Amino acid sequence: MATAAANKRLAREYKTITANPPPYITAHPSEHNILEWHYIITGPPDTPYANGQYWGTLHFPPDYPFKPPAIRMITPSGRFQPSTRLCLSISDFHPKSFNPAWEVSTILIGLLSFMTSEEMTTGSVNAGETERKRLAARSRWWNSTGGGSARNGAAKGNVGSGDAGKRFREQWPELDKENWEWMKKMGVDAATGGKVVAEKPVSGSTNTNVFEGRSVHRRGHVSPGVRGDKGTSVEVVMRGESWVRRHRVWLGLAVLVVYVLLARALE
């Protein structure tokens, strides 16, 4: 339970950060516990995290600001281990180096600065730029579904210490709504995070949408041996095409051969 001084200090800082949020950062305390804060970092441009949505927590000690908070980033980023305490000079790993004059905005600006560097510490990882960009593109889907544990807004399964999608919805209802609308608009499959590729229906067949890295199954004549993304098998619809259309290349070669033979015979 927060001391009166901590409660007063954090209430004041909430007003300050709401009125003047730092670039790419927003944060608020939990409705039920002023010592638990949730933040969102939007990946800055010209970084591998550009447009990514990174959600995390700050857990303040009851005697804040005389001791620093525990800092975690929940969203996979390729920079930090998800939901792992980070060893930073502004975190609870180094209480003696914490300055009581530092505020929530100072802490989060420091976290963003460290995130965009390549310095390693406890809780950090060194994924490549390609992987970080991939995770940034999937971050909104991950936050609102808990990495696929929730679908169509309904919580399913557990992620870490609880369903991350459900927890995100509780703390960021407006962002969660925006994320689901974005997924619908972009054609993102809630269960996998893969992009849904629309295909023209084939007469007499039952098609399923194509998901990145997933098998595609359709009814009809099948051409085996075709491989899809990530080595998954893909069955290609051939039903509805005429025999002539399917063998047009060979028919063209046959006509050419006959023409050449006739031309020589008439010389």
Identify the sign of the CA torsion 229, 231, 235, 238. Answer: positive
Alpha-carbon gap, residue 249 to 247, rounded angstroms: 6
Catalytic residue among 70, 87, 125, 127: 87
Which segments of the chain belong to CATH 3.10.110.10? 4-186
Write down the number of H helices and E strands in the chain. Answer: 7, 10
Task: Give first-to-last CA distance, the chain, whole Å.
Answer: 105
4-186: CATH topology: Ubiquitin Conjugating Enzyme (3.10.110)
Burial class (CB in 10 A: 0-12, 13-18, 19+), 147: buried
Asked if 65 and 51 touch (Cβ cutoff 8 Å), the reply is no
Burial class (CB in 10 A: 0-12, 13-18, 19+), 225: exposed
Q: Which two tokens stand for residue 141?
A: 């889907």
Cα 25 to chain center, whole Å?
A: 18
State the sign of the Cα–Cα–Cα–Cα dihedral 243, 248, 250, 251. Answer: positive
Q: Is 87 a catalytic site residue?
A: yes
Q: Are 114 and 125 in contact (CB under 8 A)?
A: no
What is the rounded CA–CA span in Å between residue 51 and residue 70? 25
pLDDT, tens digit only, all 267 positions of the chain? 889 999 999 999 999 999 999 999 999 999 999 999 999 999 999 999 999 999 999 999 999 999 999 999 999 999 999 999 999 999 999 999 999 999 999 999 999 999 999 999 999 999 999 999 999 999 999 999 999 875 444 444 333 434 789 999 999 999 999 999 999 999 999 999 998 866 555 455 444 443 333 333 333 333 333 333 333 333 333 334 455 555 566 666 666 666 666 666 665
